[in-house]
Amino acid sequence: MSTAMAVEFKLPDLGEGVHEGQVVKLHVRAGETIREDAPLMEVETDKAAVEIPSPVTGTVTRCHVEENELVHVGDVMFTFDAAEAGRPAAASEAPPQRTATTPTPVVATGGHVSGRRTPASPSVRRIARERGIDLSSIHGSGPGGRVTRADVEAASGGAFTNPPKVMSAETATQRPPVVEATPVTPLAPAAPRAGTNPLAVEGTEDSDEYGMIVRQPLSQARKTISNVMSTAWTTIPHVTDCNDADITELERMRREFADPDHPDRRLTVLAFVVRAVCRALQSVPILNATLDESSGEVVYRRYVNIGIGVETERGLVAPVIRDADRMTVGQIADALEIISSNARSASFGVNDTRGGTYTISNAGAMGPTRYSTPIIQPGQVGCLALGRARKMPWVVDDEIVPRLILPLSHSMDHRLVDGGREIPYIGHLIEDLQNPMRFMI
């Protein structure tokens, strides 16, 4: 005989210093049933979209919030009639055989440790739910313990009869760490289809004195980005230095790179740049520092955490590679793959964007751009933007030859960094990029 009890679900802690968020999507409504750990709602907060699972199996008797509503930690989100432990499951809900629960894998990137739930792409989570597989019972074989489609297939005891039509790079990976896609390649805006209106956007139609317009509310993520950028631009005196690096030799080395321990690993130019930036920051530590205005002190940090700008559907985010200075180029490549795929699939937490000491924006991956004026993150004193590398005529030993040139745009906080410090930094960076054997040995 089944019994039920009323359970109120309150918005849980979403990360250090985060007190509110915007409801992006509700996966269930009043009167619908849900199983424990199935997606309940999505909340967008401080650049991160967080998928919140159901804490119980039961029926939603009341939904206390609506989509696009601003909610606070501790607010009641749902009321459930939850089945008590020991209720016999219906035949259609027969629980699968489960293995002993394995601790949630963490990203093995030399210091980047995450306490979030089992990493997996949304498509893999959907397939696991359809198969009745508990992801926490699977030891992921993908980079950083990420659960792949192959892992779920193995756990279900057979191949899928209806595999997803589109399989992402991370779900195709079958042994760690395999990089099947170019790391940190921001999502470029899709070109309008033939016959569609390129100006068509969703929102509330209105008009002004010149014609029809569409009003669209700012998302919580875009509000956060707007506030951070406004603060950074109005409080930090920016100076941007534009340079070029001849990466012809680096590109040759990248293409010929072979790691016997990881034969399927592919490196990207960005992985080399991150490594070179770490070395340059160690030689000019002021660019890894921060200004404590309240105490009137310069705070030098003995750790190097590199934020990587990644373009997503909800805007630009900068997930952080922690202790990047302790990593090899190969380990950095693995970390880039993990944070970029997590950011694009929204399977990362708010804390994954915190603690950065310096930021790199791979702007050239989005299109044919050269130089820009990157905005420095508050709490940092430098930001590097990479343009798109291209072959150009270059003078080498008094001869004009074709070389692969990478544009560099480096912004610095002029309160702490002047030319006498920035020029040696950028010089060290360019020398390393042009002579990559210096940091590959």
The catalytic residues are: 414
What are the C-alpha distances in Å from 85 to residues 255, 323, 329, 353?
Answer: 57, 44, 50, 38
Q: Which pair of tokens denotes residue 26?
A: 């509700």
Residue type, 255: R
3-state helix, strand, coil in the chain (%, to 5): 30, 25, 45
According to DSSP, the β-strands at 238-246 and 399-413 are: antiparallel
Bridge partners for 400 per DSSP: 395
Coil, strand, or helix at residue 277?
A: helix
Q: Show the DSSP H helices in 66-132 as ranges.
A: 122-131
Number of CB atoms found within 10 A of residue 319's CB: 26
276 closest CA partner among 393, 395, 439, 41: 439
For strands 48-53 and 76-83, give the pairing: unpaired
DSSP 286: G
Return the H-helix or E-strand segment holding 112: none
**How buried is 205 (Cβ within 10 angstroms: 0-12 exposed, 13-18 middle, 19+ buried)?**
exposed
The neighbouring-strand residues paired with 386 are 408
3-state secondary structure 128-156: HHHHCCCHHHCCCCCHHHCECHHHHHHHH
- Joined tokens for residue 283: 């030689």
Q: Are 173 and 142 in contact (CB under 8 A)?
A: yes
